[in-house]
Amino acid sequence: MWIKHILNPKTITSIYPAEPPSLAQVQLYEVVIVCGVDLQCKLNFDLKDFPADAPIKWSQRKYNTVQLSLNLIQTELIQCTIPSGSAIGDLSIIHDGARFQITFTIQPQGVVFQATATWIHVDNITGYRKEQA
């Protein structure tokens, strides 16, 4: 389970207490590479599933979408060929005991983002109202 190894899992478990949210069919809308002493990569995306027991404030405001921002810290081997615009696909985060292996796959292209990172930090999780098409 990917959230067991991130730096601040309570950020996610406070919104999804029973089980972590699925990373299938997420809408990736931003990839940011931050150069510095340790290379970082920030992924911003909307989750497909809204929590069953959403915070009261979210329910009152009629939110229907959860936006998650992950910071991949001490990142290596970034490969990115994501088409322009936002993409809907499957995000995979696997911890191999030492590092995280992160991939984002869309159809029909296959893997369009791949990276390894030492740590993952949840920078933000928030709800908002997304107009349905």
pTM over 0.85: yes
* pLDDT for res 88: 92
Higher pLDDT, 108 or 94: 94
Nearest to 102 by CA among 41, 61, 49: 41
Q: Flag whether pLDDT at 109 surpasses 90.
A: no
* pLDDT for res 1: 73
At 5-28, the pLDDT tens digits run 999 999 999 999 988 999 999 999
Domain ranges of the chain: 2-126
Rounded distance, CA 47 to CA 21, Å? 8
Indicate the pLDDT class of residue 132, thresholds 50, 70 and 90.
confident
Indicate the pLDDT class of residue 133, thresholds 50, 70 and 90.
low
* pLDDT for res 87: 84
At 42-99, the pLDDT tens digits run 999 999 999 988 999 999 999 999 999 999 999 987 888 877 777 899 999 999 989 9
| C-beta pairs of 10-14 under 8 Å, 24+ apart in sequence | 11/122, 11/125, 12/68, 12/122, 12/125
